Amino acid sequence: MSFLTSILNLRRLTFPHNEKQFLRESASSGISMGLANAFIPILALRWGASPTELALLGAIPYVIYGIFSLPAGRIFERSAHPRAALALGQFFWRASYLLIAALPWLPQELRIPAMIVISGLAIFPAALYNVAIIAIIGDLEVRQRRSWIIGVRRAFSSLSAAISTLIAGWLLTLLPFPGNYQVILLIAFSAGAVAVAFIQRLDYTDRPARLAPAVEPGGAPSGAEGFRPRQLISQYRPFFLFCVGACLFNASYYMTIPLFPLYQVKVLGANEAWIGLLATIQQATQVAAFLLWAKAVQRWGPNLIYGTTTAGWSMVPLGMALTSALPQLLPIAAWHGFFWAGWTLGIYVGMLETAPESRRASFMGFYTSASSVIGFFCPLIGVQIQQHFGIQPALITAGLVGIAGATLLLICFPIRKA
């Protein structure tokens, strides 16, 4: 009860001013993203989208992320007003929901292509936002508070997304189509606009990481001209090794995106009620897991979660391949949520720990670009393995790829108490 009271009334918490704004912004963003991620694909299905069109709706954003993330990092670093850059990225990303809400006025044959185009164009401001938010947290938070504020921020986001999605599902059954989806998308945009207001309240007067002149390892200048991808191995080895391990984890995760629903529905016979129950368990576990992992990092150091959470999550596809009945998926869903929350926190902390402070936005953009390429190809690879060898060998392969990433991270970043 006290935790819920704290969420509803942030004034009673002992967070500094900027941390309150980060948490409020994350709660608003969670509502916006939760509604969009859950229901835009369903709207496409209601309009008769083909499997190919659905695949394009999900794959094209990864292509654009891969192309634009590194330029987005450079744009942010060169910006004289980083808070404004973050706010603009948030606003124009969420404004895409308004455009999708207007699609019912287009002819039927144009709606799905227009949705794909709008969703793709929205990734440009989304990439800027996603690079900028972590860079700004790194700028405004002291090192000892970063993992905690990122964990609490993600907990707020998960909780608001779960609640808003549950309520929105109920509203969609009461209101007529397509007006019901227009209402949901309008709420999603409004929540994003509220998040922009909280961004504008950030106090950016003290930003040592961005203002301090620095010379990076090997004598490389700290300006935008100092970053070259080929320098990663020779001059930024910790960042490079972290990226390799993280990309192996991402390959494992993206391979399972089409495999999980196929196994749950086609092999175990799950219906919508079971899918909803599993998703609820996973999301609810994440709320507490973000807080637990954040406290663990503060006590044991950031290396704790890199290999540990990667190894833990890699057990999910392996465990699912061994199940033969739907009830057996319940503990796997909780396990999934717990270690996925830890890894999500770990990737942010890892970027902040291993990337040079004066260049972190560009380095995060580089990682996002590499991860986006993996996000485009690995679901296709997972499906190809499933079609040639079966779904259980495909799940086992995905788990083994994740274990390879965990092994690399555990060797390169051994756990040491903070």
Identify the CA nearest to 29 among candidates 175, 156, 180, 145.
156
- What are the tokens at 348? 């942010």
Q: Check residue 11 and give its pLDDT.
A: 47
The per-residue DSSP string of 129-182 comes to HHHHHHHHHHHHS-HHHHHHHHHHHHHHHHHHHHHHHHHHHHHHHHSPTTHHHH
Q: Quick count: other Cβ atoms within 10 Å of Cβ 303?
A: 22
Q: Check residue 189 and give its pLDDT.
A: 93
β-sheet bridge partners, residue 154? none
Q: Check residue 402 and give its pLDDT.
A: 92
Q: Check residue 293 and give its pLDDT.
A: 85
β-sheet bridge partners, residue 221? 215
Give the predicted TM-score (pTM) of the model.
0.66
Catalogue all structural domains in the chain, each as residue range(s) with its CATH number.
15-206 (1.20.1250.20), 229-418 (1.20.1250.20)
Report, as ranges of residue numbers, the positions in the chain whose pLDDT lies below 50: 1-12, 208-226
Q: Check residue 312 and give its pLDDT.
A: 93
CB 343 within 8 A of CB 309: yes
